[in-house]
Amino acid sequence: MSLISASDLAKSFGADDIFDNVSLSIPKRARVAIVGPNGIGKTTLLRILVGLDDPTQGKVQRAKGLRIGYLPQKASVLSGDTLWKQCMLAFKELLAVQAELHQLEKEMADSQKAPEALTRYGSRQTYFEHLGGYTYEVRIRQTLSGLGFEESDYHRPITQLSGGQRTRALLAKLLLDDPDLLMLDEPTNHLDIGAVEWLESYLKDWEGAVVIVSHDRYFLDQVAQQVWEMTPAIEVYRGNYSAYLQQRQERYTRRLAEYQAQSEFIEKEEEFIRRNIAGQNTNQAKGRQRRLSRLLEEARLLPPVKEPRRMHMRLDASSRSGDLVLRTYALQVGYHDEGKPLFYCPDLLLRRRECTAVIGPNGSGKTTFLKTILEKSPPFAGEVHLGASLKIAYFAQAHEDLNEDKTLMQEIALVAPNMLPAEARNYLAKYLFTGEDVFRKVATLSGGERGRLALANLSLSDANLLLLDEPTNHLDLPTQEVLQSILSSYRGTIILVSHDRYLIDALVSQIWDVDPQAETLHVFKGSYTEFKAEKAAKTAQILSGLKEEPSSHKSSRTVKTSTQALSRNQERRIRSRMSRLESSIDALELDLKHISAQLEGPPDDPGKVQQLGQTYVEIQSQIDKLLSEWESLGLQCR
């Protein structure tokens, strides 16, 4: 049974038709990505499916009792005094049962109320356990940490959170709510790479259905199992984003061949009819004419549209730089008034035509690093040496180089003062600004439009060294694909700060990874896929160094790094330990079962009931620790 189904949906705003004739079905456990250019109606479709907007025509049916969690691009005002209390709202029923248990404990101290309170306490305690009463705080901490919040943020008032943090807070609450269907509109917009990868892992294992609107191609590759392309009708493709790209091209090729074959058939039929309509074969010609008329009326194929109108961008390095583009010596990045650097750099070396990606968590100092290279911000310590014959262009994340009060034509004139007005209009049209759009002020542009205008300015720079700070932010997928293609053929050098792992994987030859905890920038030679594989291998290596050490009180565990594979004796000892752990876990789970049975029919003594509850919690904690050790050992033997 479908969670949501819709038929013949259409939406118009006045005379503007957003989409038409949209029919769809969202089954259980679905992993659907909705893609398409900006303005095609993806967000509007989500709002209609959720029930926040009504379609102009068509009908939406939702399963009875369906629980939907909806994440808009911008979070509305959240309830709850603090971030922690906001997340606690996901456990209203559990907290109500907890309060009821506390009340029953008080009543058990009253001899008159004790018998009835004892009877009710057992069943409510079991229900409390079923709701996750002993683990919900751990879930909150795991979710907030996974989405990039620090512990210092947990008790901050919601009003003190930035817009991006509020969106992440709402996402945390939605995940903790555990709805049947998640509808996520650009969920990765305010997440760094670590948080996005955590969300990917979470959604892969989640039991509910997910519908995602996102411009993060790598994220869609990891999560999506079906892609809906809005054209503005919906085209359905099986698989992830990369599979969608391949199928889209194959589908276009097939439809083009069918259209061309039909066009040739129609042309031949029309020629036969013209030659024979008044001759000896007039009856045959009239019969063909009738069949051709039916074909043209009922089954005429339209020429397939390969893709919506795309940005046409050129990026040329007008001159050749020296072979050595950048070198640093004992560089420390940061601000002197803060008293210590943000991070230390090894001596970096960047050569002509290389592309390096600077990655790391939000706030780790990546933009400050770019400004240090540009000499807009002095280094905390050390030196930055730029190579010879460099012409540098900087793409700012916030597009602060754009003048809010200027029109698009005026912005282009600032960069290219010799360009004639007609040339400027034609140039802006390549970046999808047509008609009266060219006279709009920068202040009226959307995030995606600002990005395209900034790219238009960048293309006029003729630079041979590009410093790009989040260049794909707010760009739709077709524009991202164009930008990636242009950068891949660029004949200059690129330093790229980005969370776009798809772009990074396609372009870079090395990665500079900022680790704020170690206050260090690490250099990795290779692609993002290789970088990620090495990180996974190091994690597994650390886990494989876990071993049991004897102690007079209890077993303790240490972590150490090993570069060698497990010997047979080591593997045998680990598997023996895992077997002992399994036996201990089985015994504890049996004890837990017995205690649960006693709590369902609790003793008359309130003190004994409380003691049983405490024992239950302690045993559950022991089981969790043993399971954690068992899982760690299991990783070593894979």
* Residue 401: DSSP 8-state: T
Flag whether pLDDT at 441 surpasses 70: yes
For the CA atoms of 50, 54, 56, 60, the dihedral, rounded to the nearest 10 degrees, stands at 50
Residue 525: predicted pLDDT: 94
pTM as predicted: 0.78
Greater confidence (547 vs 251) lies with 251
Greater confidence (313 vs 132) lies with 313
Q: Evaluate whether 377 touches 530 at the Cβ level (below 8 Å).
A: no
User: What is the C-alpha to C-alpha distance for residues 364 and 366, in angstroms, rounded to an integer?
Assistant: 6
Lowest mean pLDDT among 84-98, 317-331, 535-549: 535-549
Residue 500: predicted pLDDT: 93
CB neighbour list of residue 425: distance below 8 Å, 6 or more residues apart: 409, 438
Q: What is the pLDDT of residues 235-273, one digit of tens each?
A: 999 999 999 999 999 999 999 999 999 999 999 999 999
CA atoms within 13 A on the CB side of 614: 6
**Residue at 194 is within a domain:** no
Residue 111: predicted pLDDT: 76
Residue 554: predicted pLDDT: 38
Q: What is the pLDDT of residues 32-75, one digit of tens each?
A: 999 988 888 999 999 999 999 999 999 999 999 999 999 998 87
**Residue at 217 is within a domain:** no
Amino acid code (one letter) for 494: I
At 151, list the tokens.
């512990």
**Residue at 125 is within a domain:** no
Last-in-domain residue among 513, 529, 545? 529
pLDDT band at 552 (very low <50, low <70, confident <90, very high): very low
pLDDT band at 558 (very low <50, low <70, confident <90, very high): very low
pLDDT band at 590 (very low <50, low <70, confident <90, very high): confident
Residues 515 and 595 in one domain: no
Greater confidence (172 vs 564) lies with 172
**Residue at 430 is within a domain:** yes
Residues 457 and 585 in one domain: no
**Residue at 101 is within a domain:** no
Residue that the structure tokens 């047509």 belong to: 434
12 has which bridge partners?
17
Residues 509 and 586 in one domain: no
Q: Evaluate whether 491 touches 353 at the Cβ level (below 8 Å).
A: yes
Q: Give the mean model confidence (pLDDT) for residues 517-545.
A: 83
Residues 574 and 620 in one domain: yes
Residues 577 and 486 in one domain: no
Residue 170: predicted pLDDT: 92
Q: Evaluate whether 90 touches 144 at the Cβ level (below 8 Å).
A: no
Examine residue 346 and say whether the peptide bond preceding it is cis (omega within 30 degrees of 0): no
Residues 466 and 407 in one domain: yes
Residues 524 and 581 in one domain: no
Query: Chain-centre distance of CA 304, in angstroms?
Result: 31
Residues 352 and 419 in one domain: yes
Question: Helix, strand, or coil here: 627?
Answer: helix
Residues 406 and 455 in one domain: yes
Residues 486 and 434 in one domain: yes
Residues 453 and 376 in one domain: yes
Question: Helix, strand, or coil here: 618?
Answer: helix
Flag whether pLDDT at 607 surpasses 70: no
**Residue at 99 is within a domain:** no
Residue 546: predicted pLDDT: 45
Greater confidence (293 vs 163) lies with 293
At 512, list the tokens.
């500079």
Residues 421 and 483 in one domain: yes
Which ranges of 162-240 does DSSP label H, i.e. alpha helix? Answer: 163-177, 193-205, 217-223
Residue 599: predicted pLDDT: 63
Domains held by the chain: number: 3
286 has which bridge partners?
none
Phi–psi pair at 469, nearest 5 degrees: -105, 105
At 592, list the tokens.
């837990």
**Residue at 263 is within a domain:** yes
Q: Domain containing 444 — which CATH number?
A: 3.40.50.300
pLDDT band at 619 (very low <50, low <70, confident <90, very high): confident
Greater confidence (365 vs 398) lies with 365
Question: Helix, strand, or coil here: 307?
Answer: coil
**Residue at 357 is within a domain:** yes
Flag whether pLDDT at 439 surpasses 70: yes
Q: Evaluate whether 6 touches 61 at the Cβ level (below 8 Å).
A: yes
User: What is the C-alpha to C-alpha distance for residues 430 and 310, in angstroms, rounded to an integer?
Assistant: 8
Flag whether pLDDT at 553 surpasses 70: no
Residue 132: predicted pLDDT: 79
Greater confidence (620 vs 136) lies with 136
Lowest mean pLDDT among 250-264, 305-319, 364-378: 305-319
Flag whether pLDDT at 328 surpasses 90: yes
Kindly report each contact of residues 342-347 with a partner whose C-beta sits within 8 Å and lies 24 or more positions away, as own/partner.
342/368, 342/380, 342/516, 342/519, 343/514, 343/515, 343/516, 343/519, 343/520, 343/521, 344/519, 344/520, 344/521, 345/382, 345/520, 345/521, 346/521, 346/522, 346/523
Q: Give the mean model confidence (pLDDT) for residues 446-468.
A: 92
- Tell me the average pLDDT of the chain: 86
Residue 569: predicted pLDDT: 61
Q: What is the pLDDT of residues 181-233, one digit of tens each?
A: 999 999 998 888 989 999 999 999 899 999 999 999 999 999 999 999 998 78
Nearest to 101 by CA among 614, 626, 630: 614
Q: What is the helix (H) or strand (E) element at residue 60, kind and residue range?
A: strand 57-62
CA atoms within 13 A on the CB side of 580: 10
Query: Given strand 16-27, what is the order of strands in its sheet?
Result: 16-27, 2-13, 57-62
- Domain containing 561 equals 556-636
At 358, list the tokens.
């600077």
Q: Give the mean model confidence (pLDDT) for residues 314-318.
A: 88
Q: Evaluate whether 237 touches 226 at the Cβ level (below 8 Å).
A: yes
Residue 330: predicted pLDDT: 94
